[in-house]
Structure 1
């Protein structure tokens, strides 16, 4: 059985005749055709490649035309001019494709997922975009067509009609009339805390609040105005047909107030998810054939269930608008430990990636196997590698199947051997392979047949590699996978190893800091185009968050509608992937009673345009960009009893944070001898050094307000032990070596400081674990 399909979308087939009587809306020059029959690529000038099968692309371009009141896509028709036969394609280049899922290929499995398309149609309506009161038909134009028998034809002109009236060339728009919400976001300065509203919103459940509060504090401290919201409070105040719609309505309000980025901090057991389907159906398909689509929470202007049948995103029954208003990421976790480990990893990635070994960040690793490894031009990995800057070190050897993808006995390195290779550190890891929810294939016999060895989340298999076996050395990476189901965090894995994305993100000090992956299937012929477009966009726009490149690639290949729905960004949506080894910023601080004077340099040279943010324990105070001489000044009245953070952020550098606590520094310099009255005393803790607990004794001669806190050697607040009024008397206070979030702190020297209405004292203690 041969599967003859176009794997991308179900178009509206427009009425067509073969001879135009009016001047054509668009004319084409045959001298601009590029046809290479042996590799299945047909091009035209600067048109985009449209994937129409596993081995074939055709040139295409998207246009928009405004519809009048009452008109829909059925009002559009067209005529073509002269058609010229260019040649024919061999059998292996017919219109067929298959999923990137592990397992044997069975065409019958695809019948409910793919939409047959007549590719001899030169103009196809692919949707409607609503902008205010105007509705625009979205048209895909193919100047070169191919029939099911493989005959390739070029048309020299095409006339478009709207209710039989010819459309002039100037009535067609090439740019999206809705605009692109990601196009104008140049760098992190757009998120400055000088704004009165939050640009970044984190949504989670109350029982997971502690690590997300820590993330929000960190993001605010580096100049990204961030707020935190709880799902139970959102659902209590919002209306909607279900919880996902209630959440989307809340996000619509956030966007209207100036919001840009959203982190959905929770899996399907914590936060609502939206299942979407790319075809038009009369009844809901099984959930495993529907995509988990966070695009639903990003696109706030589309009508995702226009026909009210509880099947969301249907191609012709609904009007999902694929242009996002918000940049949405997700952390598909459900435990405090997972969130804590991720927040630690994210902060380390932005402030000190790899510790003292940052050089790994401009290296990229490629897994490539099976049909994808054998693509023309050296394989899909070779095509995608072309997007990388010249200075990147590209490893397309260790993880690429040898000698070919269809080799019955491949002899590239075993996945278990690649654990050490990956642990050496790569800034970016590409996965171009078949896969399932908890693994992807590295070596298979022939095309995706047994025996197989794979990279998985199961750490017990002998020859398989496991993300849990990567060395916890802080050399974390950005991952991109086109394999099926790697991002299917909603699957029930009872008795199996957990989801691959979840494991890679939650792995402490290793694995992924962010991950683009499919919640369901990918396609051998189409998915690599989005991956190439992603890296083209990311490297062309330095300083932008990586999530924006994902949405950009979806807009470019919007017709691969199932993948567009199901591909999600997992991780912090504001994270910027390093495109080179980052430099280091030096921050010098001078203070007096009413100001902070900041100088930012690198290698002794001033750094201009660096975003400097001043914050204290209550949050960010102000952000200022440095001048041409690298300086910034904060005219801020501050308390000498307070602790401050000064953060410097600029593209091409790691984030630098300085912690300042003037009062503690003075007390330490004075050897903590305050000549206190005998009635007021703070005793040395005992035991000291200690593990796991120590006791602090203090005496108060009268009732007073009391603050007893723990600080680290940088003056950063660690834990609050007493905060409030106390009567006169003697108090014994125990500290168990944990911070305010309940997490154990590391071994080292700490200070405990007592402040009352009239006195203060500071002493030193040591924790040895």
Structure 2
């Protein structure tokens, strides 16, 4: 892959007669003209700070850290969008031609979570709209047979081995950060300190490791072989996404099924509300904060550029900081939790972009509340009211694609007070998101964006542009935007790698924001009603409501999980109650499944776990004594069938 990229870039330079690569121009209607010859200032944009940095730690207290502002320049290998598209087309053209079964969508999960995946409508829906899905458990030989010093490397080597022959486009990881590990990277090669809830530590968890498959670990992600992945300069991932990766970041089985079903419902909806957006921008820095001499950094600027450059014809609701001694120059309605949350809950928005200081469970406004008379914003003069947190009153009626330019909102590790990015996607009691693009740690941004582009603002800007203007799937939009920014706006600083790693996708990488229309929808997923526990030898009845969005006639078949199943029943009118009875003869746990199929052959499955206790419930005291003492009187136990 690197040879292909180098060859194409060299050819492009020769063809165009270029004498060097000191400058470039982005080729589109909203171009940024930039040079690599001067310095720009960047800073971590997602921690509350003044000259002394105020941060919210895991106990909700405030501690102090020194402000980190760096002067950087642009990398000399910058390229434009034309190069990017040519490289992508070249990659697609060299996929292996073979006679093997292909799977353009791979789900990686565990045996324990497998049923939670197949219990959803996700597999059936994705198959209906053209995906060929393969579920691979981490204990399957496709992964266990790979070389690698740990599970992440084996998973990556599995993808490297199969992505061309299977023609894989999308990879969905189902499981939390530990069960199917993210790769911890260390973009600052001088900082190998691991401390999850200290933003100055070195580690950054990322799923990009599973998307960039160009070279083996020892040729790319850990080039220097020291065991610290993704170090700036010392390691050389090329960031080209051979596959697009998303994650359902939970081991909660009901949450997994809920999230996958929600994704299907979203994609089946092609309503006009898919062109509505909600934006919220808070301050990151005030003008001359802490007597730094730096300009203000207002999050609303990014939202404004997205609105004006990209969202032509969209209906947009937006909020900015209008309280305190320095107000946003974007004269929008005042940002506060009540206004923002009420609007989100009662409105219908396919995209929510926000910018503001954050932590694992909250995002805050930044208000310069008082001044001691020197005209300089200082730490003890600043207030931090939330505008969203894990207790906000939201629902999932119209879930949104969320981008959060806020530190730790995308933190995958369990945190006190909850994980906002995870809960917005997977918690039915919050559930307002259908996909979350958020930072696992603290990203960096340019003070003078977009005049000096790059960093988190450019990633989110390009993400929106790719998704809206180029109609890319959400995973394509994220990874293509990061790769584009790395080629065009790459900084000569480890912050460049940090921003590449820290933004991950929680959700389905193949999600289509506009929705997909099909001629015939599958039946609605039923719920199996009936007892969860029983006694061997007794008969139990289970019922469903069989319904179909197209009012098709339906057919129903039951599988009892013990090697027996019913015949197909039907046709049933949509909305009919369908019941069936069964007797389990032995003790154990059984997965009852029911298949509902419409007259066109589209089907949906539902599942229920039913357990038969180890022993029947006994009223006779003597028999209960034998049951509770299994090692006594084995002959009598056998005689009484215990």
Q: How does 1:303-382 map to 2 (within 5 A)?
A: 303-352=220-269, 358-371=271-284, 379-382=301-304
Distance change >3 Å, CA 336–CA 104, structure 1 → 2: farther
Aligned to 2:461: 532
Distance change >3 Å, CA 719–CA 483, structure 1 → 2: farther
Answer yes or no: is the 8 Å Cα contact 2:281–2:300 preserved in 1: no
Aligned counterpart in structure 1 of residue 546 of structure 2, from 712, 715, 731? 712
Answer yes or no: is the 8 Å Cα contact 2:26–2:81 preserved in 1: no
Aligned counterpart in structure 2 of residue 294 of structure 1, from 197, 204, 207? 207
How many residues matched?
Answer: 488
Bigger fraction of residues in strand: 1
Aligned counterpart in structure 2 of residue 471 of structure 1, from 360, 382, 395? 395
Deviations 1:524-552 (A, max 9, x none): 4232122111112222222x311111112
CA distance in 1, matches of 2:299, 2:358: 23
Deviations 1:457-512 (A, max 9, x none): 442xxxxxx1xx2134x21111111111111112x41xx21111111001328411
Deviations 1:319-349 (A, max 9, x none): 2111111101111111102102101211111
Aligned counterpart in structure 1 of residue 154 of structure 2, from 239, 246, 252? 246
Q: How does 1:238-637 map to 2 (within 5 A)?
A: 238-257=146-165, 258-281=167-190, 286=195, 288-302=201-215, 303-352=220-269, 358-371=271-284, 379-396=301-318, 399-402=319-322, 406-407=326-327, 412-423=334-345, 424-442=347-365, 444-445=367-368, 450-459=382-391, 466=392, 469-472=393-396, 474-490=397-413, 492-493=414-415, 496-508=416-428, 510-525=431-446, 526-542=455-471, 544-558=472-486, 559=490, 560-578=496-514, 587=519
Aligned to 1:733: 582
**3-state DSSP class of the match of 2:247?**
strand
CA distance in 1, matches of 2:510, 2:81: 31
Distance apart, 1:400 and its partner CA: 1.8
**3-state DSSP class of the match of 1:479?**
strand
Aligned to 1:684: none
**3-state DSSP class of the match of 1:198?**
coil
Deviations 1:77-105 (A, max 9, x none): xxx9xxxxxxxx9xxx9735342224555
Structure number with higher relative contact order (C-alpha < 8 Å, ≥ 6 residues apart): 2
Bigger fraction of residues in helix: 2
**3-state DSSP class of the match of 1:329?**
strand
CA distance in 2, matches of 1:425, 1:177: 34
Aligned to 2:598: none
Aligned to 1:199: 104
Deviations 1:333-378 (A, max 9, x none): 111021021012111111247xxxx343211000101148966897
Distance apart, 1:690 and its partner CA: 8.6
Aligned to 1:211: 116
**3-state DSSP class of the match of 1:299?**
coil
CA distance in 2, matches of 1:384, 1:236: 44
Answer yes or no: is the 8 Å Cα contact 2:445–2:456 preserved in 1: yes
Q: Which one has the largest radius of gyration?
A: 1
Q: CA RMSD in A?
A: 4.8
Pair 1:179 & 2:87 matched: yes
Distance change >3 Å, CA 223–CA 741, structure 1 → 2: farther
Q: How does 1:142-181 map to 2 (within 5 A)?
A: 175=83, 179-180=87-88
CA distance in 2, matches of 1:241, 1:583: 42
Distance apart, 1:282 and its partner CA: 8.1
CA distance in 2, matches of 1:720, 1:272: 35
Distance apart, 1:236 and its partner CA: 3.0
Answer yes or no: is the 8 Å Cα contact 1:476–1:510 preserved in 2: yes
CA distance in 1, matches of 2:275, 2:530: 41
Distance change >3 Å, CA 470–CA 241, structure 1 → 2: same
Superposition TM-score, scaled by structure 1 size: 0.55
